[in-house]
Structure 1
């Protein structure tokens, strides 16, 4: 359970943001008697409202910026790493500190903006509540981060809440809570990421599937949540209001919104995703204002034209300029087809006269009257002179039988030269068959099932040659299901059970009722076991960590999680070294749970 909980936390904690803020009022604890060190980052937990035990700690998770790049190969530690846990300062029980360079080996580039999340670690190492994602640079070292206690919406998973955090004595517009549009279309945070603007954030929201620690679509996800839910529900928003509210949260005008929808990236994304937006400029309640300049393409003009001739293609550049600023928008080289040739009269060349024994031929050639280029050359055939046909004669005769037709060649020869003029294959009809009694074809048809009719095929053959003369389909009526009751097998802590059901002894199909009206699957009848067998650390899987956990329990060493209900894997009623040995043998594939149970006949 702990492992599943931790993975869920990771999915929602990686990228977080907070509501936009105006004037920040600090209610953080005083630092009297405490001098921050310029190499460390500090967090004051007192304003969060979290209940902190004497052994509880704070984790400092850092990411983003230029980490894991060619300029800065530093790889941040994964969420949940023990090194991320800070320590309490000497005189301030509510303030925790960490030296990310000395303790974690991190390298930071001055002026580059990174992100940090502060998470509550409940002793010994259970990750609890967290703050929003907060921007920081090296200028924030030696400063204290604190929370005003406000709960804010998580922009990755809007069902989650985080605590708002700021830097003491640092402008939140420069290094503050990350400005973002949440997964359901709310604007949160105060600080724009380096290299971005509020306008570019809105364009990204419309045009991208944001990949920032976790795959989450942007506009499409918010659209489905806000616009496609029940209109009577509290969370419903029309597309018009959804876009206007986001624009207002970012401080954009309706001209900015219009310009964003006309960006190529936005139009391409909407077309690819198969979505649309019904936002209207005229219906918008946002103020009007200047929009980023977009080119207005004029009529295409021709430049650098090379005329075509009848021997070669021509070319030109098709250029489009902006009618407002005159800037060249596009330039494409176009081809002009060669001019058509002017064909002259066809002439004969290379003529070979025909005879009575062979065809003649000639080349029919066409030349261009302008450039004299040969346009076409086609070999034509001159028919042979006609033969004088004689009387047809029979050759190669094969008599007909009851199994096969007969045949002969009907041949005509020329009386002048003796050449064969024609040879036509002729057919002699087969003799009539003698039909016998119908017999069943054992290789055809199919038997009846419980619910469907079967089929047998009756074949009549010739008694002389055995050839099939006729084939008839005969229906075999279905017999119906023969159901047997199978009683319920209850599930145990670590072994699946099976619901009561009926099984057909003919077709092996499973049914929920005695009449066979409701067919079910074996999977739907499974009664799941309470736990995974051998999963003593209760993380949902059985592996070597469970062996280690049970070994520690047996020697009375404290472990974070221990599920006693699944530790007795041998089923002998005792939890001891025999259970450890069996777990090791199963992991080594020396034996399976099924083989052990069959051999020892223990209920599990």
Structure 2
């Protein structure tokens, strides 16, 4: 019986008679097991830093296997620290020595927080101030590393104030009532008003005023209201008009009267127009105006008492006088009594 790797074999040594063939003796001889012939083995479980591995050997004769433990490798530490968590501006970090083969680490050390790095001031939430209302803006500082807001200060700005123009008179003052000056802001367009004092009297009763526009001299008879036509400036004039009103300064005066002897020396006068506000004609107003042929009276206010003596005496006998239709009859009587020739025509 053949021996195997693990089990011994045996055989019998027998002696037979060479004549008769009878078994003379039999001795059983046992053989030892051959023993396994192991190959170099293969690592079937790798050892780690902390745990043993396994090496498996196989018999090249019978194929049986056996295992042996492989010692744990132990940690292989790096020489330098590895940063496990970066430090930020506000939070600490961590570093440690790592094993080259596994995740185990040692000598864990805290990395201090870096702290914020302040940047330059930035302007935010700006509100422009206006003429009447103040504005504001925020001065903000951010960390240049992490972008966190480090500070915010709100700055208030004052109102700019209106920029008023020189103003415009929107209501003229009179001698009895205040006027109004309106100012406009050149920025926002808002307006404000101020009162303008009443006018001071420039002309009292009896004061005279020379008006180049109407070529005449006037005398104040009611302050700020009425004047009397005194006489023309140019005595050589041929045509004249007694206006219904004139303006002295900022005041408009009604011309309500023609003074005595007003045109007495006007030898070249040929026509005269008397406007509607005249209610009085002084004595000898047109006395001896021999060339005065055309007279137009628009006023309806004349009465015998208000037309002076000889007011129309010695004017051209063939003069033509135009009067308001409603006053033709009464005016004819008045004018004749005040010197008008009966040959004159009234229409």
TM-score range normalised by the length of the shorter chain: under 0.3
Higher relative contact order (CA 8 A, sep 6+): 1
Higher strand share: 2
Higher helix share: 1
Is the radius of gyration larger for structure 1 or structure 2? 2
